[in-house]
């Protein structure tokens, strides 16, 4: 009988299938796992079925109200999550070792479009040869799974303590095209005009009207709602209505006169535009200088 000198490595399932299981188990939802992985829920379901076929038994109990982990799968999940995090950090270390790599920035979609985009050309002029990669996402990335050099989001003061706050606390106030502003003399005049809403900040009109003492006179819910702030802003620029503007996003349009604020009544918000930097061990070589430049560009 011949014994192998070096025993074979243990056979592993498809990495995609294993990743789909870990993400779905950690998130507690196939839909949320699909969002994190950037695939469809159907693709996650298929990968998990493939994983279960490889194992020979199910890892989820399918119930009418959703899915739940089996006891065995729940027990193994922490080790599997640590394993993927370790893999991610190893790959990140390899990526960080290349000094000419692109600087990666994650940002809220409206920040990426309206705040960051106008600064990219001046930024590249200030740092010749710099390559930049921008990812728009709804939530700040988890540095263990979605590492970025910089992240720019609206965070409240407490949450922002770990980052670098860019500029002053934000504020909201009505803004519109100059021709429309000429027809508005008091908050009561807003009742004759279309109110434009962003889906995320749907309650801003009600908050500002209460602040201005006009809540009882105007229906804060009427008017179209836009899934992207940039679409609502385009509507305001075209004269289609009055937008509840965030000063950090509309400042350039107010400065060049394309938008006008009919009232000098700005309501401070509890959050602020915050620039979050990667940990020093994963930092881009020019991260600190670029973060400083972006902060001073406000």
Q: Domain containing 233 — which CATH number?
A: 3.40.190.10
Same domain, 206 and 242: yes
Residue 219 domain flag? yes
The range of the structural domain enclosing residue 203 comes to 171-268
Residue 51 domain flag? yes
Residue 52 domain flag? yes
**Number of domains present in the structure of the chain:** 3
Same domain, 243 and 286: no
pTM (2 decimals)? 0.68
Same domain, 143 and 284: yes
Residue 29 domain flag? yes
pLDDT, tens digit only, all 298 positions of the chain: 555 555 566 677 888 898 999 999 898 888 888 988 888 989 999 999 999 999 888 998 887 777 888 988 899 898 988 888 777 777 666 665 656 688 889 999 999 999 999 999 999 999 998 889 999 988 888 777 677 889 999 988 655 445 566 666 789 999 999 999 999 999 989 999 999 999 999 999 999 999 999 888 889 999 999 999 999 999 999 999 999 999 999 999 999 999 999 998 999 998 888 888 887 666 788 888 999 899 888 6
| Structure-token pair, residue 49 | 């079925």
Same domain, 179 and 262: yes
Residue 156 domain flag? no
Same domain, 264 and 208: yes
Q: Estimate the crossing angle of helix 229-237 against helix 247-255, to 10 degrees.
A: 30
Residue 39 domain flag? yes
Residue 147 domain flag? yes
Contact indicator for 135, 38 with CB cutoff of 8 Å: no
For strands 103-107 and 132-136, give the pairing: parallel
Residues 6+ apart with CB under 8 A from 287: 103, 149, 150, 277, 278
Same domain, 112 and 129: yes
């Amino acid at each position: 009988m011949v014994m192998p000198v070096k025993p074979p490595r243990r056979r592993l399932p498809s990495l995609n299938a294993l990743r789909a299981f870990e993400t779905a188990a950690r998130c507690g939802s196939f839909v949320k796992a699909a969002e994190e992985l950037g695939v469809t829920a159907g693709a996650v379901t298929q990968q998990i079925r493939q994983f279960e076929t490889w194992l020979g038994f199910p890892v989820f109990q399918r119930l009418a109200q959703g899915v739940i982990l089996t006891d065995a799968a729940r027990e193994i999940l922490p080790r599997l999550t640590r394993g993927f995090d370790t893999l991610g950090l190893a790959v990140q270390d390899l990526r960080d070792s290349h000094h000419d790599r692109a600087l990666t920035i994650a940002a809220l979609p409206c920040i990426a479009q309206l705040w960051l985009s106008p600064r990219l050309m001046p930024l590249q002029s200030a740092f010749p040869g710099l390559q930049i990669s921008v990812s728009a996402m709804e939530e700040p990335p988890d540095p263990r799974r979605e590492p970025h050099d910089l992240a720019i989001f609206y965070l409240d003061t407490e949450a922002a303590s770990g980052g670098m706050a860019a500029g002053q606390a934000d504020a909201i106030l009505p803004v519109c095209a100059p021709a429309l502003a000429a027809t508005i003399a008091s908050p009561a005049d807003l009742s004759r005009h279309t109110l434009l809403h962003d889906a995320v900040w749907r309650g801003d009109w009600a908050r500002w009207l209460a602040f201005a003492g006009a809540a009882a006179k105007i229906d804060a819910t009427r008017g179209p709602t836009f899934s992207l702030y940039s679409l609502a802003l385009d509507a305001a620029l075209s004269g289609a209505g009055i937008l509840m503007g965030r000063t950090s996003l509309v400042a350039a349009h107010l400065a060049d006169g394309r938008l006008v604020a009919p009232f000098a009544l700005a309501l401070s918000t509890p959050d602020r535009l915050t620039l979050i930097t990667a940990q020093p061990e994963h930092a881009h070589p020019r991260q600190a200088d670029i973060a400083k430049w972006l902060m001073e560009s406000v």
